[in-house]
């Protein structure tokens, strides 16, 4: 009899663990924050049915990996192409998701014409301000009431806390930041307007960013939140720096979002920390050790790393509006091609077959109070 009950309780606890570990993330974190992912075109058009299924089952917020960037929307002055962005927004509306817009102002993926005058020389302040206003009014205005939050300005700061000397900065000075937020607010007053950047876990960059946001607030710029991209590595940042980033950003009294979470599991060619897209290193076999498979002990290490991070997110969930993964499955990740092209990375919760990895269960446990 005792054996029967022992076996029965073992079966019940296994069932309980399995059911917890397969609970949709949006249900698991319902009391804490929205949870989502960046979608590529195949997912929101339904061509990637498996990826779209993972998204609609687990997430209640979505971000666009590329289709709302300037080069995708207005590649040529005055010529707008909203076809893909419309499909992205329609997917979010159909599945009653909180829809994020990414991104209005960035130094990357912005066509050269934006910064050129009629004579081919540098555009004047007046011309660039007009272009900025026209683009933001056209894009934000189109999705008024549909897109709930915008990454208005992306990656305006350097790692040392100084302003990135982008074309935006060179022509307009730091004023471009305040202009962008004002134009976005005018176009859709209720939308949450974010500043978004990577490596805010670096103390100097975080200090400079907080200083910049305080300047925006002094200018009465309508900024509503700060997005911490969180493109992390296995060994960086330290968990205490992840926590300090949240508590330091919280001093601004604005919303905080974890906007582009992934964990690079591959060797780092030069201890580079960040997500500067233009960085690129020569591919060498020793930099691509998990091409064929991802060993069980690395799976467990990744699960622990995600669990440690989510324990901090859950602990400070009152500060966090949403946690968004950057892409859905390992095969979708930008990290397969950055900072070294042609590698096989394993940075997310679902593998290349769309199966949840041990990290999925480890993340679920942080909120299930286990
Ligand atoms: O659309 C063109 C296509 O026409 C062409 O055939 C193809 C081949 O070159 O390139 C396609 O453009 C690519 C684009 O993604 C869309 O797929 C670009 O080359 C490629 O550089 C671009 O990479 C994106 C990257 O931003 C650069 O902008 C990644 O997918 C995207 O995940 C990544 O996301 C950024 C965030 O927006 C900001 N934070 C950092 C994050 C990672 O870099």
**Residue-range domains of the chain with CATH:** 2-267+284-366 (3.20.20.80)
Number of the ligand 1 atom closest to the C-alpha atom of 72: 1
| Alpha carbons 80 and 282: distance in angstroms, whole number | 36
pLDDT at 275 (0 to 100): 74
Q: Is the pLDDT of residue 370 over 50?
A: no
Q: Is 165 a catalytic residue?
A: no
- The tens digit of pLDDT for each residue in 139-169 reads 999 999 999 999 999 999 999 999 999 999 9
Query: Average pLDDT of the chain?
Result: 94
If you write DSSP's letter for every residue of 324-337 in order, what string do you get? EESSSBGGG-GGGS
Q: Which of 65, 201, 260, 276 is catalytic?
A: 260
Residue 73 CA to ligand 1 center (angstroms) comes to 14
Percent of the chain at pLDDT > 70 equals 93
- pTM for the model: 0.93
Q: What is the pLDDT of residue 118?
A: 92
Question: Which residue's alpha carbon is at the smallest distance from atom 18 of ligand 1?
Answer: 109
* 260 labelled catalytic: yes
Query: 75, 334, 339, 342: which to mutate for ligand 1, most atoms within 8 A of CB?
Result: 334
Ligand 1 atom 32 nearest Cα: 334
Measured in whole angstroms, the distance separating CA 166 from the mean position of its chain's CA atoms is 21
Give pLDDT tens digits for 28-48.
999 999 999 999 999 999 999
**Residue-level pLDDT at 12:** 63
Under 8 Å between Cβ of 258 and 323: yes
> Residue 109: CB within 6 Å of ligand 1?
yes
**pLDDT tens for each residue of 335-358:** 999 899 999 999 999 999 999 999
The model's pLDDT over 305-331, given as tens digits with 9 standing for 90+, comes to 999 999 999 999 999 999 999 999 999
Query: 159 φ, ψ to 5°?
Result: -60, -25
Phi, psi of 369 (to 5 degrees): 70, 20
Give me the helix-helix angle, 175-187 and 203-218, nearest 10°: 60
Instruction: Please count the other Cβ atoms lying within 10 Å of the Cβ belonging to residue 193.
Output: 26
Give yes or no for residue 260 CB within 6 A of ligand 1: yes
Which of 48, 66, 85 most suits a substitution to test ligand 1, by most atoms within 8 Å of the C-beta? 66
pLDDT of 265-296, one tens digit each?
999 887 666 777 777 777 788 899 999 999 99
Q: How far is it, in rounded angstroms, from Cα 265 to Cα 234?
A: 6
194: β partners = 151, 225
């Amino acid at each position: 009899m005792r054996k029967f009950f022992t076996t029965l309780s073992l079966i019940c606890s296994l069932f309980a663990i399995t059911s917890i570990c397969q609970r949709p993330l949006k249900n698991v974190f319902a009391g804490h924050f929205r949870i989502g992912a960046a979608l590529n075109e195949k997912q929101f058009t339904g061509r990637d049915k498996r990826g779209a299924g993972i998204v609609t089952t687990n997430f209640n917020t979505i971000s666009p990996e590329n289709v709302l960037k300037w080069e995708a929307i207005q590649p040529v002055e005055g010529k707008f192409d909203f076809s893909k962005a419309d499909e992205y927004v329609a997917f979010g509306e159909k599945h009653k998701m909180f829809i994020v817009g990414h991104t209005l102002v960035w130094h990357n993926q912005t066509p050269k014409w934006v910064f050129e005058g009629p004579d081919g020389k540098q555009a004047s302040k007046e011309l660039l301000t007009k272009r900025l206003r026209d683009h933001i009014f056209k894009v934000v205005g189109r999705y008024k009431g549909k897109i709930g939050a915008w990454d208005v300005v992306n990656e305006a700061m350097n790692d040392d806390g100084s302003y990135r000397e982008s074309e935006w900065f060179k022509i307009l000075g730091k004023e471009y930041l305040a202009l962008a937020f004002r134009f976005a607010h005018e176009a859709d007053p209720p939308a949450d307007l974010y500043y978004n950047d990577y490596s805010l876990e670096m103390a100097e960059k975080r200090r400079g960013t907080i200083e910049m946001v305080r300047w925006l607030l002094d200018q009465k710029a309508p900024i509503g939140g700060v997005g911490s991209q969180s493109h992390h590595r296995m060994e960086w940042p330290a968990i205490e720096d992840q926590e300090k980033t949240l508590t330091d950003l919280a001093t601004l009294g604005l919303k905080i979002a974890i906007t582009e979470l992934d964990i690079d599991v591959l060797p780092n060619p030069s201890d580079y920390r960040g997500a500067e897209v233009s960085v690129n290193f020569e591919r060498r076999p020793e930099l691509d050790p998990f091409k064929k498979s991802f060993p069980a002990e690395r799976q467990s290490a990744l699960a622990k790393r995600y669990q440690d991070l989510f324990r901090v997110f859950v602990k400070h969930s009152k500060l966090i509006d949403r946690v968004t993964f950057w892409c859905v499955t390992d095969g979708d990740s930008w990290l397969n091609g950055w900072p070294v092209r042609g590698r096989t990375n394993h940075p997310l919760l679902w593998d290349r077959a769309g199966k949840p990895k041990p990290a999925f269960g480890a993340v679920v446990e942080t909120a299930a109070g286990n």
